[in-house]
C-alpha cells in the first residue's frame, strides 16, 4: 500500500501541501504523528534533501520514533533529517558556533542541581539572607527572565520585574542574575534556558552570517506540540523564518486543548494567534479520534467546551459503543487506593489486560503513596514515572562529574563535586580558598588550582597538583579516545571504582551496578554512533557528544526495562501516552482543579485542559475517582467533588445519576464554585451559602488600583472578606496575588489583579 493511501482525506491534504505556512490542529488520538512523519517522507520523495528538513519535538524519544517511521517509507535517507528537541538541536548549533559568543565548543550543560548549587554559592558570597534569597526561587526568577529575553541590563530597565523584587524584599536578584551569567561564561557552561537564550543571542549578534547559514540549511521547518512552545522558542523560529523573500515553509502541529505547561513558560497564544503572524496560513483540523471509544471522546468534548478561549473543533470517533465511564465515590483516600487496586484486579481477570496497559494518574506526585500500598498488597508490579531519574542518582552524578571535568576542566560545579571525592586530602577550607582566589582574580577554579598566589599548606598543594595532573591527562585524551575507553579509565583512576566496591551492603552493590550501567551506556553509544546528517557516515564517538546526549534526556527518554508493570504518574507526565485502561484520581475541588487556579480564569482553563489530557489517554476503559475525606497539611479535610465531573453528561457514566445538575451555571461562570450537585455527589459544603452574603458592606467598598496591591498589604474582598497579601508575581496585566483570607479553608488563594476587586485597608 502506498503511504498516502493510509491517510484520511484531511490528513492527506495536509501532508501533500508542501509549501507555505501550515497549521494542523490535531485532537487527541487523531494521527498527528502519522501526519507529521508522512509529511516529511513526502517532502523527501518530492526531491527535498533530508538535511534541509528540521523537525522540532518535545522528547528525543519521539524524534527517534519519527525517524524510524520515516525510514520505513524512504529508507536510510530518513536518518539525515534534523530531528530532535528544541534543546538538543539548538545545543548542536551552539557546539558548532559557540566561539562566536565566547563559549568553548565543549561547554558543559548545567542541570537544575548544578544551577541551584552555583546560585547558593553566589548568594553566600554576596552575604545575602539565604531565606529571603532562596536559591530555587531565584533560579525560577532567572529562568523567567531568560524566557522573556531579558538580559540583566533589560531586567534593570523593566519596572515591573524590579518592583516585584522590591515587594518580595529581594532587590538584589538582578545582581545575582548578572553574576550567575558571568560565572557560567567563566566556567564554559550553559543551563537549559541558555540553550535557547544564548542561541537567540548568537542569532541576534550574527544576522548576516550565522542566521543566513541556518536559514539556507533549514528550508522546511516542522514543530510538534506547538501549543507547548514558549515566547523564546517562537522568537527563535521567527528569526529562522522571517526575512524578505522567505517562502515561510513552516508546518506546525498542535492542539490548544492540550496546552498544559504554562508553569514552564509555555504560552497558548503562540497557537491561538499563529494566523496573525502568517496571513497566508492554511489550517487543517484532524477531528477523527482513532484511540478512544465514544463515551470517552464525548466526555472530552463536553468538558473542554467550558473553556473560554479556544480553536473550535469537534472530536469524533467511529469506534463502536462499549464501556461507559466508571465513577468511584470513596469515603477516604485510603478507600480510594483500595478500590482502584480492586478495580485493576477485576479488569485484569475479566479482560485479561496486561499491567503495561493500565495507568493511574494523579494531580500531584504525593498522591501515589496510597496506590502503592494497595498495589503491593495485591502483589501487582508497578513503576512510578517522575521519581528520581537514573542520571540524578548520587553515584551516577559523581561519575558523570568526572567525565564532565575531563571534557571541560573549567566546569566549576563538576570540579567542586569531585575534587575531594573519594577523599584525597583536599579540605573544604582549601576549596574555599580556591573559590576566593578565583573570584578575586576573575579566573576559573581550574586556573586557580596552579596559581602561585594560592595560600595552602604543602600537603594540600601536592594533593591539588596530583588532581590537576590526573584531570589534565584525561583532558588530552577527551577529543581523540573512544568515549568508552576513556570513561573506563576515569572510573578506575579516579578512585571511584575502589570506593564503590568497598561498600558490600545491598545498597552499595546497587550503587556500583549503577556506575557500571553508565559504562554500558557509553559503550552502546560508542558502538552505535549517530550518523552524520549530511554524509550519512558514522558520526562522533567522543565523550563530549555523549555528555551532551545524556544532559538533554527527559524522563520520557529513559528506557523502560521491559517489565510488565502498572504505570503511576502525574497527569503532566502522561502527555503523549495512551493505555487501554486509565484511572484519573483525586477529582476534588482544590486538588483537581488545584486551589492555585482559583480566581484566575486562565489558570482554571489550564486545569480543565489538564483533565482533558488525562481522560483522553484512555483507549477503552476510563475510571474517575474522588474521596470525600483526604489528609491535607496533616489534617483530615472534607472535600467537594471536582466541578469537572458535572461538566460531563451523566449518560456517559455507568450507574451514576445527577451529574448534569448545575452545568449551565458552570459554563456561564467557570471561575465561580459550581452549583450543587445531586444524585451520587454530595452537596458542596455550604459553599454557595457562605458566599451568598458579602463579607463586608458593598456600599462602602472602593476597589484599589492593581498597582496598590503589594506583598504585606491587608485587603478586603467582597466575597472572602479580610486577607493578607503573601506575594505578587507576574508583570503588567498578568500580575497574580497570593492572598490568605481569614477563616478560609484554603491556605491561600491566587487572584489575577487585573480582574480582582480588592480594597487596601
Active site residues: 32-33, 224-225, 258, 617
- Grid coordinates representing 699? 456600599
What gap in Å lies between CA 605 and CA 612, rounded to an integer?
Answer: 10
640, 694, 702, 709 from 721: Cα distances, Å: 22, 8, 13, 15
Which residue spans within 314-375 are E strands per DSSP?
A: 326-332, 358-362
Residue 320 · residue 354 · CB < 8 Å:
no
| Contact by Cβ (8 Å): 499, 531 | no
Q: How far is CA 664 from CA 314, 641, 661, 676, 681, in A?
A: 20, 17, 8, 12, 17
- Tell me the residue length of the chain: 761
Q: Are 611 and 761 in contact (CB under 8 A)?
A: no
Q: Are 232 and 204 in contact (CB under 8 A)?
A: no
**562-567-573 Cα angle (round to 5):** 110
Element (H, E) at 398: helix 394-407
CA atoms of 490 and 495, how far apart (whole Å): 8
Residue pair 147/232 in contact (Cβ under 8 Å)? The answer is yes
Alpha helix stretches (DSSP H) within 19-107: 32-45, 60-74, 86-97
d(CA 27, CA 50): 28
The answer to whether the CB of 383 falls within 8 A of the CB of 565 is yes
Q: Which residues of 713-750 are buried (b: 16+ CB within 10 A; e: fewer)?
A: bebbbbebebbebebbbeeeeebbbbbebeeeebebbb
* Sign of the alpha-carbon dihedral angle for 582, 588, 594, 600: positive
Phi-psi region of 57 (alpha: psi -120 to 50; beta: other; left: phi over 0): beta
Name the one residue in this structure whose C-alpha cell is 554576596: 126
DSSP symbol at 572 = G
Amino acid at each position: 500500500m502506498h503511504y498516502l493511501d493510509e491517510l484520511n482525506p484531511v490528513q492527506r491534504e495536509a501532508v501533500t501541501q508542501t509549501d507555505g505556512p501550515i497549521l494542523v490542529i490535531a485532537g487527541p488520538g487523531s494521527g498527528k504523528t502519522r501526519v507529521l512523519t508522512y509529511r516529511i517522507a513526502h517532502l523527501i520523495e518530492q526531491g527535498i534533501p533530508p538535511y534541509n528538513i528540521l523537525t522540532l519535538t518535545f522528547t528525543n524519544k519521539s524524534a527517534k520514533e519519527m525517524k524510524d517511521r520515516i525510514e520505513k517509507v524512504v529508507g536510510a535517507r530518513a536518518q539525515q533529517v534534523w530531528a530532535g528537541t528544541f534543546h538538543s538541536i539548538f545545543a548542536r548549533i551552539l557546539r558548532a558556533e559557540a566561539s562566536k559568543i565566547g563559549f568553548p565548543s565543549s561547554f558543559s550543560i548545567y542541570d537544575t542541581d548544578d544551577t541551584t548549587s552555583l546560585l547558593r554559592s553566589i548568594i553566600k558570597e554576596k552575604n545575602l539572607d539565604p531565606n529571603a534569597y532562596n536559591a530555587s526561587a531565584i533560579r525560577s526568577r532567572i529562568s523567567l527572565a531568560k524566557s522573556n529575553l531579558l538580559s540583566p541590563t533589560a531586567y534593570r530597565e523593566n519596572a515591573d520585574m524590579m518592583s516585584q523584587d522590591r515587594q518580595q524584599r529581594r532587590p538584589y536578584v538582578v545582581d545575582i542574575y548578572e553574576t550567575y551569567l558571568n560565572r557560567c561564561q567563566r566556567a564554559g557552561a550553559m543551563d537549559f534556558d541558555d540553550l535557547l537564550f544564548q542561541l537567540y543571542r548568537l542569532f541576534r549578534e550574527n544576522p548576516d552570517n550565522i542566521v543566513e547559514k541556518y536559514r539556507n540549511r533549514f528550508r522546511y521547518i516542522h514543530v510538534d506540540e506547538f501549543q507547548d512552545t514558549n515566547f523564546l522558542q517562537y522568537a527563535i523560529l521567527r528569526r529562522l523564518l522571517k526575512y524578505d523573500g522567505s517562502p515561510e515553509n513552516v508546518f506546525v502541529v498542535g492542539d490548544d486543548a492540550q496546552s498544559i505547561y504554562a508553569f514552564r513558560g509555555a504560552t497558548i497564544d503562540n497557537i491561538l494567534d499563529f494566523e496573525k503572524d502568517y496571513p497566508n496560513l492554511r489550517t487543517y483540523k484532524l477531528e477523527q479520534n482513532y484511540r478512544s471509544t465514544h463515551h470517552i471522546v464525548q466526555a472530552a468534548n463536553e468538558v473542554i467546551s467550558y473553556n473560554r478561549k479556544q480553536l473550535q473543533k469537534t472530536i469524533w470517533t467511529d469506534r463502536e459503543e462499549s464501556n461507559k465511564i466508571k465513577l468511584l465515590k470513596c469515603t477516604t483516600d485510603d478507600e480510594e487506593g483500595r478500590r482502584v487496586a480492586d478495580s485493576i484486579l477485576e479488569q485484569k481477570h475479566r479482560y485479561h489486560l496486561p499491567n503495561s496497559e493500565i495507568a493511574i494518574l494523579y494531580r500531584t506526585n504525593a498522591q501515589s503513596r496510597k496506590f502503592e500500598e494497595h498495589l503491593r498488597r495485591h502483589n501487582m508490579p508497578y513503576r512510578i514515572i517522575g521519581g528520581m531519574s537514573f542520571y540524578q542518582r548520587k553515584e551516577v552524578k559523581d561519575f558523570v562529574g568526572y567525565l564532565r571535568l575531563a571534557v571541560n576542566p573549567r566546569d566549576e560545579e563538576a570540579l567542586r563535586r569531585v575534587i575531594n571525592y573519594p577523599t584525597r586530602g583536599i579540605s573544604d577550607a582549601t576549596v574555599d580558598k580556591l573559590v576566593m582566589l578565583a573570584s578575586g582574580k576573575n579566573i576559573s577554579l581550574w586556573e586557580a588550582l596552579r596559581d602561585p598566589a594560592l595560600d595552602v599548606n604543602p600537603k594540600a598543594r601536592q594533593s591539588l597538583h596530583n588532581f590537576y595532573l590526573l584531570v589534565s591527562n584525561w583532558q588530552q585524551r577527551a577529543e581523540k579516545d573512544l568515549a568508552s575507553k576513556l570513561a573506563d579509565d576515569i572510573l578506575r583512576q579516579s578512585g571511584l571504582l575502589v570506593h564503590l566496591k568497598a561498600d558490600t551492603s545491598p545498597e552499595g552493590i546497587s550503587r556500583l551496578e549503577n556506575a557500571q550501567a553508565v559504562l554500558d551506556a557509553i559503550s552502546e553509544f560508542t558502538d552505535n554512533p549517530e550518523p552524520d546528517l549530511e554524509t550519512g557516515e558514522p558520526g562522533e564517538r567522543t565523550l563530549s557528544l555523549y555528555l551532551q546526549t545524556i544532559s538533554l534526556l527527559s524522563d520520557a527518554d529513559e528506557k523502560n526495562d521491559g517489565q510488565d508493570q502498572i504505570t503511576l504518574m502525574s497527569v503532566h507526565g502522561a502527555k503523549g501516552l495512551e493505555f487501554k485502561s486509565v484511572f484519573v484520581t483525586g477529582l476534588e475541588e482544590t486538588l483537581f482543579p488545584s486551589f492555585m487556579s482559583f480566581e484566575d480564569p486562565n489558570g482554571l482553563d489550564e486545569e480543565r485542559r489538564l483533565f482533558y489530557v488525562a481522560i483522553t489517554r484512555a483507549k477503552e476503559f476510563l475510571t474517575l475517582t474522588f474521596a470525600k475525606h483526604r489528609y491535607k497539611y496533616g489534617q483530615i479535610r472534607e472535600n467537594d467533588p471536582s466541578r469537572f465531573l458535572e461538566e460531563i453528561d451523566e449518560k456517559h457514566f455507568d450507574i451514576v445519576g445527577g451529574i448534569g445538575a448545575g452545568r449551565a451555571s458552570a459554563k456561564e461562570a467557570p471561575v465561580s464554585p459550581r452549583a450543587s450537585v445531586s444524585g451520587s455527589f454530595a452537596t458542596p459544603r455550604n459553599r454557595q451559602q457562605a458566599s451568598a452574603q458579602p463579607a463586608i458592606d458593598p456600599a462602602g467598598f472602593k476597589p484599589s488600583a492593581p498597582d496598590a496591591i503589594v506583598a504585606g498589604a491587608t485587603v478586603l474582598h467582597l466575597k472572602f472578606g479580610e486577607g493578607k497579601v503573601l506575594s505578587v508575581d507576574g508583570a503588567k496585566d498578568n500580575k497574580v496575588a497570593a492572598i490568605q483570607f481569614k477563616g478560609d479553608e484554603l491556605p491561600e488563594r491566587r487572584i489575577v489583579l487585573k480582574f480582582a476587586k480588592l480594597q487596601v485597608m
